[in-house]
Amino acid sequence: MSSALSESTESPDPVLTAERAHLARAADCLTEMRAAASAVTDAGVDAWASERLGAARAERLRALAADPHVPPFFGRTDGRVGERTETFHIGRRHVRDAAGDPVVIDWRAPMSRPFYQASAAEPQGLERRRRFGFDGGELTGYEDELLGAGDEHESHYLREEIERPRSGPMRDIVATIQPEQDDIVRAPLAESICVQGAPGTGKTAVGLHRAAYLLYTHGGQLSRTGVLVVGPNRAFLRYIEQVLPTLGEVDVEQTTVAGLTARVPVRAVDPPQVAVLKGDARMAEVLRRALWGEIAKPVDDVQVTLTGRRYRVPVERLKRYVDDLRRRGRTDDDQQLLHYAAGRERLAMLVAEDARRQKEAAGGSPTDAETRKAARTPEVRGFCDTVWPARDAAGLVHALLTDAALLRRAARGLLDDEEQAALRWDPAPRSVRTAPWSESDAVLVDEAAGLLERTEGYGHVVLDEAQDLSPMQCRAVARRLAAGSLTVLGDLAQATSPWAPSDWRETLAGLGRPGTVVRPLTRGYRVPGEVLEYANRLLPVIAPDLPPATAVRSEPGSLTVRPVSSLAGPLADVVAGLAAVPGSIGVVCADPAVGEVVALLAAAGLPAVALTDDGDAAARIAVVPATLAKGLEFDAVVVVDPAAIVAAEPRGLHRLYVVLTRAVSTLVVLHRGDLPAPLIDDREDDGAAVGLA
């Protein structure tokens, strides 16, 4: 290996000098590209560009491209092509010179792939892989692997990148994507993938980079259909929301399942067993029956007025029309599938067309417009209102949860009496507007909306923390997929919801992609080995079938487990000590303890702020309710009273596993009572702080 990890002051390294010159050239070319783009803008194309991109987004793209702290490249490959060596500098976006020749290659381009994948065993044509180190925007060092000569080693920059203190939202990993991650990032668009990944293996990062890769590679197709990223809560979205924009992708919708299904105002929380029931896939069939099962049999002929004359459509034919349409509401063939609202329109047209045929048989020739007008006459509308009544999604769910007879008809053979009773609102709300809608109800309303009308689908959906989704939530995501593909990310060991699956098949079937291959990720980048080993003690109890993660880093001293008799002094001391060095700090406790912990820190003069799910960014010292910790990470984590976290909910040990795996550099566990059984260590002495190395 040859490298200059930091520059010596005496003799400037000629490699560094040359690379800095290339950096300066790339920066100049970028400036020219921007100037050319704004010249085009000045020439009046801006209206078009702004209309296409949205003025704010176009502005944001320009600002990002101009960020001096984002160097134009981070790596380089030298490969042999015949007699000559071909060199590519790899960066976040393509940079070309005035003649149009490439100066930097986009990391997503096929030519960049060997940078991520080549090894000494399979150099993929590379003689050398070079990685660069930066301080701010300045190039300060590099390291080389001479792959052709068998030299391959773990990058020093990987560790440096992981350990760089966090001060805000999640960063991209584009300079250090690892081969097993790159395989997933660059999988073909048509391929749906499920990643079962242990904590900190980079699932979220991989999912976001995959979205960016797909948008680059299939821009035309995906710009029409769009890419959707779904995360567990708004605090998480706030944490990840800058990653795609820094990769130049400002056009990806990022939301939660609650955001996708926000058709009614959520103001109530269901007891767990009711939430489980409402999230059960049987509810889809109950809703379908409640809607389609209430279509009535025609009992009389209908008189249709067409161009001033009246035609009688006999009841037998009306029955056939209704039956045919109902069948099309059941079909598995997506092309043939008829939604309820469209069925209603279609029925009116079938009746009007019957009259038209009668008129044609009598020698008339009514136009399409006249036929459509006949379908809107009061007689035909009245017939449809009786037989195929107009419905709205919230109204349907409201009816189902308040009308015992309707529920009984729809749930026959599916839900027993007890389950039906558990579903019903008691007392029954007077109107849709005042109903105590819960998150699970909102998902039911969304399902009903999907029965009424076709839901707009995306070309690709990245679904994070998918292990927590109920079958009905899975269906809500599946509806948004249409013909698109899916990247499912999750960890069964971190499943905390009451419907948590024990394997991925259930979730993947619910998502409409039962054949999806599950790919494991087990190399943990976030959590130091000492901390991961400690958390992994929970695995035999919470997920005995999953292989434990292995950490890529070891950091002796990163774990401290400390029994305390009272929290106040030790907590303030620990947090003050951690706050003395740069980096983010998360103090995680059981949800009900957040107030106490904030108050204790405030009393010690430490500016801690409780993290909430309103989407606000975490403060430097964030007090994190255990239920919001998922997906987040902090340089240092203090876990307060793990036993209380476990006791707070049925899957409390899974929650504790999430909480114990949030730290990048330091984990301190403070416990007033006993530790949960799997964590009790023979080496721990009463009253003493113990670092478990």
Ligand X SMILES: Nc1ncnc2c1ncn2[C@@H]1O[C@H](COP(=O)(O)OP(=O)(O)OP(=O)(O)O)[C@@H](O)[C@H]1O
Annotated binding residues for ATP, written as ranges, equal 197-204
Indicate which single residue of 75, 91, 141, 200 sits in contact with ligand X (rule: CB under 6 A).
Answer: 200
Binding mask 492-511 for ligand X (x = CB under 6 A): --x-----------------
Our measurement of the distance from residue 145's CA atom to the centroid of its chain's CA atoms, rounded to an integer in Å, reads 35
Binding mask 227-266 for ligand X (x = CB under 6 A): ----------------------------------------
Indicate which single residue of 661, 667, 668, 671 sits in contact with ligand X (rule: CB under 6 A).
Answer: 661
> For 421-456, b where at least 16 C-beta lie within 10 A, e where not — what string?
ebbeeeeeeeebeebebbbbbbbbbbbbbbbbeebe
Stretch of 128-136, 196-204, 285-293, 364-372 lying at the interface with ligand X (CB under 6 A): 196-204
In 534-662, beta strands by DSSP E = 550-551, 559-563, 585-589, 609-610, 621-625, 634-640
Q: Which one, 230 or 351, has the nearer CB to ligand X?
A: 230
Contact call for residue 226 and ligand X (CB under 6 A): no
In 260-331, beta strands by DSSP E = 302-306, 309-313
| Prior bond of 272 cis (ω within 30°) | no
Q: Which one, 73 or 525, has the nearer CB to ligand X?
A: 525
Q: Which one, 249 or 633, has the nearer CB to ligand X?
A: 633
Q: What secondary structure letter does DSSP report for 466?
A: G
Contact call for residue 181 and ligand X (CB under 6 A): yes
Indicate which single residue of 23, 118, 173, 466 sits in contact with ligand X (rule: CB under 6 A).
Answer: 173
Q: Is residue 488 helix, strand or coil? A: strand
Q: What is the phi-psi region of residue 477: left when phi exceeds 0, alpha when psi lies from -120 to 50, beta otherwise?
A: alpha
Binding mask 24-63 for ligand X (x = CB under 6 A): ----------------------------------------
Contact call for residue 203 and ligand X (CB under 6 A): yes
Q: Name the residue among 446, 493, 447 with its Cα closest to residue 467.
A: 493
Q: Please identify which residue in the block is written with the tokens 């109903």.
A: 435
Smallest separation (angstroms) from ligand X to the CB of 494: 6
Angle, CA of 21, 22 and 24, to the nearest 5°: 65
Q: What secondary structure letter does DSSP report for 408?
A: H
Q: Which one, 229 or 444, has the nearer CB to ligand X?
A: 229
Give first-to-last CA distance, the chain, whole Å. 31
Indicate which single residue of 75, 114, 141, 199 sits in contact with ligand X (rule: CB under 6 A).
Answer: 199
Smallest separation (angstroms) from ligand X to the CB of 48: 37
Residues 614-653 that bind ligand X (CB under 6 A): 631, 633
Tell me how far apart the alpha carbons of residues 369 and 479 are, in angstroms, rounded to a whole number.
Answer: 34
Contact call for residue 76 and ligand X (CB under 6 A): no
The annotation places the binding site at 197-204
Stretch of 194-202, 312-320, 368-376, 502-510 lying at the interface with ligand X (CB under 6 A): 194-202
Stretch of 135-143, 176-184, 355-363, 469-477 lying at the interface with ligand X (CB under 6 A): 176-184
**CB neighbour list of residue 55: distance below 8 Å, 6 or more residues apart:** none
Contact call for residue 583 and ligand X (CB under 6 A): no
Q: Which one, 203 or 671, has the nearer CB to ligand X?
A: 203
Q: Name the residue among 438, 411, 435 with its Cα closest to residue 287.
A: 411
User: CB count, 10 Å around CB of 9?
Assistant: 6
* Total residues in contact with ligand X, by rule CB under 6 A: 23
Backbone angles phi, psi at 453, to 5 degrees: -140, 155
Q: Which one, 227 or 291, has the nearer CB to ligand X?
A: 227
Q: Which one, 163 or 324, has the nearer CB to ligand X?
A: 163
Contact call for residue 437 and ligand X (CB under 6 A): no
Q: Which one, 202 or 343, has the nearer CB to ligand X?
A: 202
Contact call for residue 196 and ligand X (CB under 6 A): no
Smallest separation (angstroms) from ligand X to the CB of 272: 23
Q: Which one, 388 or 525, has the nearer CB to ligand X?
A: 525
Contact call for residue 439 and ligand X (CB under 6 A): no
Indicate which single residue of 58, 103, 158, 211 sits in contact with ligand X (rule: CB under 6 A).
Answer: 158
**CB neighbour list of residue 231: distance below 8 Å, 6 or more residues apart:** 237, 240, 254, 255, 256, 464, 465, 631
Smallest separation (angstroms) from ligand X to the CB of 1: 19
SS3 content of the chain, % helix, strand, coil (to 5): 45, 20, 40
Contact call for residue 201 and ligand X (CB under 6 A): yes
Q: Sign of dihedral through CA atoms 467, 470, 475, 477?
A: negative
Contact call for residue 197 and ligand X (CB under 6 A): yes
Smallest separation (angstroms) from ligand X to the CB of 497: 15
Contact call for residue 205 and ligand X (CB under 6 A): yes
Contact call for residue 491 and ligand X (CB under 6 A): yes
Pairing of strands 634-640, 663-671: parallel
**Cβ(488)–Cβ(515) below 8 Å:** no
Smallest separation (angstroms) from ligand X to the CB of 228: 18
Q: Which one, 71 or 563, has the nearer CB to ligand X?
A: 71
Q: Which one, 177 or 598, has the nearer CB to ligand X?
A: 177
Tell me how far apart the alpha carbons of residues 551 and 494 are, in angstroms, rounded to a whole number.
Answer: 17
Distances (CA, A) of 12 to 6, 15, 120, 410, 609: 11, 9, 29, 79, 47
Tell me how far apart the alpha carbons of residues 423 and 434 are, in angstroms, rounded to a whole number.
Answer: 17
Backbone angles phi, psi at 94, to 5 degrees: -70, 135
Residues 512-531 that bind ligand X (CB under 6 A): 525-526
Contact call for residue 536 and ligand X (CB under 6 A): no
Q: Which one, 182 or 641, has the nearer CB to ligand X?
A: 182
Across the beta sheet with 621-625, what order do the strands follow? Answer: 609-610, 621-625, 585-589, 634-640, 663-671, 559-563, 690-691
Stretch of 172-180, 291-299, 341-349, 603-611 lying at the interface with ligand X (CB under 6 A): 172-180
Residues near ligand X (CB under 6 A) are 158, 161-162, 173, 176-178, 181, 197, 199-205, 491, 494, 525-526, 631, 633, 661
